[in-house]
Structures are given as structure tokens and as C-alpha cells.
Amino acid sequence: MAGRRRVSRAGLVLVLLLAVLVGCSGGPSSGTASSAEVRRVLDRRAAAVLHRDVSAYRATGDPAAASDEFANLREVPLADWAYRLDRLTVSGDRATARVRLRYRVEGYDTAPVTADRTVGLTRTAGSWRVTSDEPAGTGAHQLWEQGAVTVVRGRHSLVLGVGQPGERLRSFAALADHAVPAVTRAWGTDWPGHVVVLVPNSLEGMAGLLGAPAAGYRGIAAVTTGEVGGSAKAPADRIIVNPDAYGVLGDFGKQVVLTHESTHVATRAHTTAATPLWLSEGYADWVGYRGGGRAPGQIASELRRAVADGQVPAALPDDKDFGFTGDATALAQAYESGWLACRLIAGHWGEDRLNAFYRAVGDHRERPGAVEEALRDVLHTTPEKFTERWRDYLREQLG
């Protein structure tokens, strides 16, 4: 979620991802004997991970470091794990490999997602061994690089945590298990109906999973990562929690956050470059607050103050208004504006029309004309008329 606890929009390629092959498939490489040997080492390493064979894993690298790495992964339910060698640079008995890791969490991921890695190797007695395995460039870390992963399974969720007590991880599973049916009731059944929640041990851990500076997410309780417009073959989304910001929320706020984030997972296939943030974030908030019994003025407190001062927004917020690093009041007003726009559609045209409108905008695929055409075809109105109705709605609900 965003705002003080809102969601990161699609596009951030994230944490825990997957693959169908267990071996090292060929990519562009030097074509030398060293390339073939390194592929074989990576193949053995992948097989060891999948078969939970710590001895085989240690044989592919430094035994002490390999034991720690393997132990961190022990509880993660992996269906596939594979490396593809993309590039190899050899200098004597040392080598650096650019590798693409592909992996899949069993029961939750339907397609592989990739993580680019830089792997260091040394050759001893004619055999290559892995000496380091890190994100390539400024890429994101994986959860197990931060410590041993604890796994909690819910009815509709899988929670993976590092440095968190089991009781806290179970509380996330309970929240997610409540969120998923709520999202299905609002959106429908055309989504997997389960979520994966990652709980690192700190804000810095969250930022590492996103491959981004921590300062940009201070005060943000959770984000959702995934591929916008994702098909059945697209990587699964991950809900990543900022334990620092999430911990200060009350019970109601915690539930809204998980429901909001789960909504992003459900709507991902219909959220594309054509979808403005006021719609994707507003809809997720609409589902999150739906049935909560809170008055608009309680939820949209920043916008309520603006309306009371006679400062009714002239237009729906632009995407740039949702930046996490900007003014907190303006950010809150942007989210509240999107929420009230979706609430207006649901109340005036009906919830089915709201869902149809969301899908129509996303299915347009290109931003120009997407909202205008959906307003015309689904709601039978124009941008000008809708904006005026929305501004009147703000006065009515918040005045």
C-alpha cells in the first residue's frame, strides 16, 4: 500500500521468483571448456537445492559459507530452481559469471521469474567452485540472503519471514486469509486466490528486497511487486512488508493494508500501462475499506481538511502525485481522491460497473484514450462530466 502505508505500483520486479528447469541452460558464453565446466557446477548446485542435499551443495562452493546459505533456504517450498549462464569471464584460476537464477515456490507460482546474479568462482585442482553469489549490479536481494527463512502457511497465504517470531508471522497469515476472500467478493474469481507475503526484519531489509534506497519507503507499511498486465505465465506477485511502519498500525489499519495489497495481486492482469494510479490505488483502497463501516471523513481526513478550507481539487491526481518521496499530505490526498472516485462509481453506477470500468481501462493497453473510452462505453459519461460529479461528491461526502 502506499500513502503512509500504501502500495508500490506494479513494475518493481521483486522477491522470490521461479523456474521450470533444474539445469543450467545455455546462454551466450565464451564457448570454452571453462563455460561447460561452470555450467555443470551450477547444474549440481541447482539439483542440490531442489533435493535438499546439503553435502552436494557444499561440494559446489566454500563448505562453511555454503552450509549457511543452504540452511537459510531450508524451509522455503521450492518447486523449481535453475541457473542459466549468460556470460563468463575467466582470468587464470578465477572467473566471474553473469547468471540468471530462475525459481518457483511450490503451490503458489505458476511461472518462473528471474533474478540476475553475479557469481564468483575459483578453480582448485582443476575443478571450479562457487565463492560468491550476489545480485547483479543494483539488483534486489532475495529474502534468504538476509537470514534463515521461517515459513507459515495459511488457508489462502504463504508467509515467509526473516528475524520474526512465529507468532507475528502467523498474524500476517491470519490477516491475509481474511483479505483474500474479501478481495474475491469484490473483484471476482479470475485470479489465483492466494498471496505470498514477505516479512523481512527491518525497513532496510524491505528496501534490499526491492533493490531500492530505504529512504523511499520509510513510513510505507507494505508494497506489492509484480508484472503489470501479467498473464498466467507471468511471475507471481509478492507482498513485501515494512515491519517498522506496519507495526505502528492498529488492527483496522493492518487489515486494510493486507486487503489493499491483495487487491493489487488480484487485479494485476488487468492493470497495465493504460491504468492511471488514481484508479489502481483508488480501487485497492475501495476494496480495503469496503464494508469497514468508517465514514468518508474518517478515512479521507487530509482531503476533508482541504475541502473544509475551500480547496476542492480541480482534477483527479496525476501519477506523479503518488510518489513516495514527496509531500506526505499531498500523497495522502492523492490516495484519498482515487478512493473516493472509485467509491463514487460503485455507489452511483454499481460495483459491477466499477469492475467493468477497471478492466476496460486496463485492457486498452495504452494510456491515451483509455479512461475516456471506458467512461464513454462503461459509464456513459465524459471526463468533464465525471470530474464535475466527483468534485460535487467530495463536497457532499467531506463538507
* Total count of residues recorded for the chain: 399
Q: Which domain holds residue 220?
A: 1-15+142-266
- Residues 224, 189 share a domain: yes
The last residue of a domain, from among 242, 266, 290: 266
Give residues with Cβ within 8 angstroms of 54, minimum separation 6. Answer: 48, 66, 67, 70, 71
Residue 20 lies in a domain: no
- Could you tell me the CA-to-CA distances from 185 to 7, 56, 242, 397 in Å, in that order? 21, 47, 27, 25
DSSP string, 204-244: HHHHHHHTS-GGGGTT--EEEE--TT--TTSPPPEEEE-HH
Task: Indicate if 92 and 109 belong to the same structural domain.
Answer: yes
Q: Any idea which residue has 535438499 for its cell?
A: 52
Cα–Cα distance, 166 to 152 (Å, whole number): 8
The candidate with the shortest Cα–Cα distance to 359, out of 343, 371, 349, 368, is: 371
pTM here is 0.87
pLDDT score for 8: 40
Q: Pick the closest to residue 49 from 15, 20, 16, 76 (CA basis).
A: 76
385 band by pLDDT with thresholds 50, 70 and 90: very high
Separation between Cα atoms, residue 197 and residue 241, nearest integer Å: 7
Characterise 211 by phi-psi region: left (phi > 0), alpha (psi -120 to 50), beta (else). Answer: left
The CA distance from 316 to 275, in Å, is: 13
Q: Examine the domain organization and report whether 131 and 175 are in the same domain.
A: no
Average pLDDT for the chain: 89
Residue with cell 561452470: 38
Do 248 and 261 lie in one domain? The reply is yes
Assess whether 200 and 307 both reside in one domain: no
pLDDT of residue 1: 46
Q: What is the pLDDT of residues 96-117, one digit of tens each?
A: 999 999 999 999 988 787 899 9
Long-range contacts formed by 377-385: CB under 8 A, 24+ apart: 378/353, 379/345, 379/349, 379/353
The one-letter amino acid code at 133 reads D
Instruction: List the beta bridge partners of residue 114.
Output: 102
Overall domain count for the chain:
3
pLDDT given for residue 20 in this prediction: 27
289 and 235 in a common domain? no
Determine which of 47-56, 57-66, 345-354 has the lowest per-residue pLDDT on average. Answer: 57-66
Residue 165: exposure state from Cβ atoms within 10 A (0-12, 13-18, ≥19): exposed
CA–CA distance, 386 with 389 (Å, rounded to integer):
5
pLDDT tens track for 265-311: 999 999 999 999 999 999 999 999 999 999 999 999 999 999 999 99
User: Do 148 and 251 sit in the same domain of this protein?
Assistant: yes
In a domain, residue 148? The reply is: yes
Whether 125 shows a pLDDT value over 60: the answer reads yes
List the CATH number of the domain containing 235. 3.30.2010.30
Nearest to 35 by CA among 69, 81, 83, 80: 83
DSSP string, 72-135: HHTTS-EEEEEEEEEEEEEETTEEEEEEEEEEEETTT-SS-EEEEEEEEEEEETTEEEEEEEEE
Q: Decide which of 218, 240, 266 is a domain's last residue.
A: 266
What pLDDT is recorded for position 7?
38
Where does a domain end: 244, 266, 288?
A: 266
Cα dihedral 158→161→165→166 (10° resolution): 20
* Residue 217 resides in a domain: yes
Residue 378 lies inside a defined structural domain of this protein: yes
Q: Which three cell numbers mark 177?
A: 486469509
Domain-located, residue 190: yes
Question: DSSP state, 61?
Answer: B
For residue 14, pLDDT over 50 is answered with no
